[in-house]
Chains A and B, each alone.
Chain A
């Protein structure tokens, strides 16, 4: 049991707070474990499907950093819902620096 905090808002607008997140756990894994609506993580954390897309709260984005080319290529496949603060949850692994991070789950790509 860890002691890091994550605040995650699901696609239905419900905000969940997790206070016992372990270091190294990805936001996708965390969301999937708790059945957070909108986090599917189909590919299992391989940065290959864009079903764990989150928007990182502005004040946290700098700490999280920009997606790399591989992650950007996946986000580009859901371009209609991609924003400047988009990341894939599987690529954000919890560290003490991210203690308290706030993200909201992005909606599925639409028509």
Chain B
């Protein structure tokens, strides 16, 4: 149920230090240095100017947990549809669209990146595939996949690998390939495609990189369309078949087939959305495990389902893969004392909401005993809350368990300040993480 945001509530602003004032005045989320190490910038905004207009980016950054939550529960005032399409290929949308129409079998707007009531129907259709109970059934098979990926790396006997490129990325791709019913051995292509799709909401593309990415997306769409045609004729037990043949139920009970365009967008979204982000969470996990005491903590909970769940949830709170997602105001609205004009682009900065000390005391402390872990916004919230959240949690959990079982003494093989993050406002993704380890 969409609730309208209360406009009369104003919470306290805090005094900033001179350094924080400078950071607030000069900082921008489009700065790759800030993207890589953003917490001080988030804190300055959260304390002094919680809904901060980032001039360089042209977006309002929403940084307090309370405001993120309120905005998420009003999907009508704060449109995902317009926010997403504004962000997509920023400033180059028309060219991007035209390229895909010409080379990629069509331009397929994301059916799930929409507003109610349309969104409600599409969402309902997708939900059944992602319930926690359905995901539990998948766990044994996914555990096997994860075990194999890690075992292969360990078996090389070199005691070193790239935790992102050799483990996190191929692992999540293999899982989604099985679920959707795609072909094996396509890890590299799917990884390239994912990066290209995700870059569309990253707000960091030049015209040149936009066109390179559009070419990747065209290749992706052509591949998916061929697969979908195949399943249209010969359905199998996989999600592509389900989506190609899916019907949505309208409010009056009548049923309607998804259009082919909608189905393409949903297959594409399923392939990409849970892939990059889950890989990011697993990449981050390796990094976290190189910090003092963390490997021991994981080891102590690895065989205790309840504590392991808490460990994973605290990891998602502490290092949310998705940094910020878009909304657009459909009218002028005042949120927590800040008036935002109609048709303004906003980013809900989940990375800041999860670091909000008014909700999570001592936010930099990794504390699996937090009594309110479920309040973190790593999966967003409201009617657009991540649909694949149970699957994502489970994949990260299974990965954590297998890491604890098969690897020990995980250390960074590069200096900490040499870790590079993908230039994007949308996620906080380690691009490559060379590590050393010992087999257990």
Q: Mark A residues whose CB is within 8 Å of B.
A: 32, 35, 39-40, 42-51, 69-74, 76-80, 108-111
> What are 12 pairs between A and B in contact, CB < 8 Å?
A35-B1, A40-B1, A40-B382, A42-B382, A44-B124, A46-B133, A46-B134, A48-B135, A48-B389, A50-B374, A73-B305, A111-B358
* Chain A CB within 8 A of B383 CB: yes
A49–B131 CB distance below 8 A? no
Looking at the assembled complex, report how far the CB atom of A110 sits from the nearest CB atom of chain B, in whole angstroms.
Answer: 6
Contacts of B374 in A (CB 8 A): 49-50, 74, 77-78, 109
Complex CA distance for A71 and B131, rounded to whole angstroms: 11
Complex CA distance for A46 and B132, rounded to whole angstroms: 6
Residue in contact with A109 in the complex, picked from B371, B381, B385, CB distance below 8 Å: B371
Contacts of B136 in A (CB 8 A): 70
**Nearest A residue to B120 by beta-carbon distance?**
A44
Complex CA distance for A39 and B305, rounded to whole angstroms: 27
Asked, given contacts A32-B1, A40-B73, A43-B385, whether A74 binds B372 with beta carbons under 8 Å apart, the answer is no
B371–A79 CB distance below 8 A? yes
Residue in contact with A42 in the complex, picked from B313, B371, B381, B393, CB distance below 8 Å: B381
Complex CA distance for A80 and B359, rounded to whole angstroms: 13
Would you list which residues of chain B between 366 and 424 have a CB under 8 Å from chain A? 371-375, 379, 381-383, 385, 387, 389-390, 393
A76–B131 CB distance below 8 A? no
B373–A48 CB distance below 8 A? no
B381–A47 CB distance below 8 A? no
**20 further contact pairs, Cβ within 8 A, besides A49-B389, A78-B372:** A42-B381, A42-B383, A43-B387, A44-B127, A45-B131, A48-B393, A49-B379, A49-B385, A70-B132, A70-B136, A71-B132, A76-B306, A76-B310, A78-B375, A79-B371, A79-B372, A80-B372, A109-B371, A109-B372, A111-B358
Residue in contact with A111 in the complex, picked from B73, B305, B313, B359, CB distance below 8 Å: B359
**Nearest A residue to B357 by beta-carbon distance?**
A111
Q: How large is the interface on B (under 10, 10 to 19, 20 to 34, 35 or more residues)?
A: 20 to 34
B372–A111 CB distance below 8 A? yes
B361–A111 CB distance below 8 A? yes
Contacts of A79 in B (CB 8 A): 371-373
Interchain residue pairs A-B with the least CB separation, the first 7: A77-B374, A80-B371, A46-B131, A44-B127, A42-B385, A109-B372, A48-B390
**Nearest B residue to A77 by beta-carbon distance?**
B374
* Chain A CB within 8 A of B123 CB: yes
Would you list which residues of chain B between 301 and 349 have a CB under 8 Å from chain A? 305-306, 309-310, 313
Question: A44, A49, A50, A110: which has the most chain B beta carbons within 10 Å?
Answer: A44
Complex CA distance for A46 and B385, rounded to whole angstroms: 12
* Chain A CB within 8 A of B130 CB: yes
Complex CA distance for A42 and B372, rounded to whole angstroms: 17
Contacts of A70 in B (CB 8 A): 132-133, 136
Contacts of A108 in B (CB 8 A): 375
**Nearest B residue to A42 by beta-carbon distance?**
B385
Contacts of B73 in A (CB 8 A): 40
Contacts of A74 in B (CB 8 A): 132, 374
B1–A48 CB distance below 8 A? no
A76–B309 CB distance below 8 A? yes
* Chain A proximity mask over B80-105: 1 for CB below 8 Å, otherwise 0: 00000000000000000000000000
A73–B309 CB distance below 8 A? yes
Complex CA distance for A80 and B360, rounded to whole angstroms: 13
B132–A110 CB distance below 8 A? no
B127–A46 CB distance below 8 A? yes
Looking at the assembled complex, report how far the CB atom of B358 sits from the nearest CB atom of chain A, in whole angstroms.
Answer: 7
**Nearest B residue to A76 by beta-carbon distance?**
B306
Residue in contact with B132 in the complex, picked from A35, A47, A78, A109, CB distance below 8 Å: A47
Complex CA distance for A44 and B375, rounded to whole angstroms: 17
Contacts of A77 in B (CB 8 A): 309-310, 313, 373-374
**Nearest A residue to B361 by beta-carbon distance?**
A111
